[in-house]
């Protein structure tokens, strides 16, 4: 049986939701991760430091003391956020950045930014205080498969030109265009890549019938885009690192006329990543991708602990509890080849 010890990994993009869901989502991430960056798109959006701190406290209340885990946070960036708030962010050790959602692009983005240009005074403050800007990079007025590439062209390229020292993470990239852009940009610009964008393309979502539990935003793209993402993740380029974008919705809300966007991968995230890295012959690159590159970009030390993954197949459950309801995890019923050896 093959095994591998890796740095206890980080998840630089996760949605834990709130309320009753926290009793399950917190442990799903904390059980095997050293750190996670928790997204702020609750309702209402977390546009103030006090709101973010209160949410972090609720997360910690659901954290099992046996888990060696630190939740980091992001504040929701829109036109209501003040320069003074961002100065508070700069002085808060647990808030690592500000998250930009263009209005209407994804779950709970109704309070997102109406125009990028309106936020330029805030970007000035962020650049001056070295606050990381995390971006959901899509436009709304385009074909759903073109939205990321057009955001890069219309919004991100000018933003980087106008704020060359602003550190930026383009979240959950899904296209070859994004890979090329990030690769060619300065060291101030990086990207997270999800396990589902590495493992699947739009055929998984649409071929043979619509499969709502593979529906996410940015939407799964072409096989060519998938290949570009795989090459980026396994390139050893520190600009690319792990962020699951695990975003649970109840089974009822996914299997409905709405079919809410988001997949739940957190409980098996390490196994998902290990699967694709191993399948493509680059398991030796997994450690840096999950445990080093993101920490380096956020100027944090690497975790000093390790976990052991073993080549032991298991079947993903059909459902898992989510608060008072249930969630269908990504790839439910499928077999993954890598497990995590739990301590005795």
* Predicted confidence band of residue 309 (pLDDT cuts 50, 70, 90): very high
More confident residue, 109 or 172: 172
How many domains are there within the chain? 1
Is-above-0.95 flag for pTM?
Answer: yes
Catalytic site positions: 245
State the residue for tokens 């998840």: 11
**pLDDT value at residue 344:** 58
Q: What is the pLDDT of residues 13-43, one digit of tens each?
A: 999 999 999 999 999 999 999 999 999 999 9
**pLDDT value at residue 273:** 98
Model confidence at 241: pLDDT above 70: yes
Phi, psi of 180 (to 5 degrees): -65, -45
Tell me what the pLDDT averaged over the chain comes to. 96
Model confidence at 109: pLDDT above 90: no
> 172: domain range?
3-340
Give the domain CATH number at 192.
3.20.20.140
**pLDDT value at residue 107:** 62
Q: What is the pLDDT of residues 40-81, one digit of tens each?
A: 999 999 999 999 999 999 999 999 999 999 999 999 999 999
Share of the chain above pLDDT 70, in %: 97
Token pair, residue 3, equals: 């095994």
Q: What is the mean pLDDT of residues 129-136?
A: 98
Q: What is the mean pLDDT of residues 123-133?
A: 98
**pLDDT value at residue 343:** 73
Nearest alpha-carbon partner for 205 in 192, 179, 223, 193:
223
**pLDDT value at residue 167:** 98
**pLDDT value at residue 16:** 98
**pLDDT value at residue 342:** 82
What is the spatial distance between Cα 46 and Cα 217, in angstroms, rounded to a whole number? Answer: 20
Are 3 and 341 in contact, with CB atoms under 8 Å apart? yes
**pLDDT value at residue 106:** 64
**pLDDT value at residue 234:** 98
Q: Mark out the alpha helices in the chain (DSSP H runs).
A: 22-30, 49-61, 83-90, 120-129, 147-151, 157-162, 176-184, 195-199, 202-206, 223-233, 251-254, 269-279, 286-291, 293-297
**pLDDT value at residue 28:** 98
């Amino acid at each position: 049986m093959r095994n591998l010890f890796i740095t206890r990994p980080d998840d630089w993009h996760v949605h834990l939701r709130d309320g009753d869901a926290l009793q399950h989502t917190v442990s799903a991430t904390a059980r095997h991760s050293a750190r996670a960056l928790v997204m702020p798109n609750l309702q209402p959006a977390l546009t103030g430091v006090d709101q973010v701190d209160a949410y972090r406290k609720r997360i910690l209340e659901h954290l099992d003391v046996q888990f060696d885990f630190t939740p980091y946070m992001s504040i929701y960036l829109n036109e209501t956020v003040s320069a003074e708030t961002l100065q508070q962010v700069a002085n808060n050790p647990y808030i690592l950045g500000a998250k930009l959602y263009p209005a209407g692009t994804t779950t709970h983005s109704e309070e997102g930014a109406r125009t990028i240009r309106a936020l330029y005074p805030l970007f000035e403050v962020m650049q001056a205080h070295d606050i990381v800007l995390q971006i959901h990079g899509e436009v709304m007025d385009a074909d759903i498969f073109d939205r990321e590439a057009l955001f890069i062209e219309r919004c991100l390229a000018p933003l980087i030109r106008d704020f060359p020292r602003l550190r930026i993470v383009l979240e959950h990239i899904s296209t070859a265009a994004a890979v090329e852009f990030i690769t060619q940009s300065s060291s101030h610009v990086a990207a997270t890549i999800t396990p589902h964008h590495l493992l699947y393309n739009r055929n998984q979502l649409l071929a043979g019938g619509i499969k709502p539990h593979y529906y996410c935003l940015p939407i799964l793209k072409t096989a060519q885009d998938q290949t570009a993402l795989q090459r980026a993740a396994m390139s050893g380029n520190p600009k690319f690192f792990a962020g699951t974008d695990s975003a649970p919705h109840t089974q009822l809300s996914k299997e409905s006329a709405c079919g809410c966007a988001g997949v739940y991968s957190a409980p098996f995230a390490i196994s998902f990543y290990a699967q694709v890295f191993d399948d493509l012959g680059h398991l030796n690159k997994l450690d840096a991708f999950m445990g080093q590159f993101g920490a380096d970009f956020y100027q944090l030390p690497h975790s000093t602990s390790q976990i052991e993954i073993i080549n032991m197949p298991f079947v993903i459950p059909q459902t898992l509890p989510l608060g008072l309801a249930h969630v269908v995890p990504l790839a439910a019923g499928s077999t993954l080849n890598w497990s995590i050896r739990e301590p005795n």
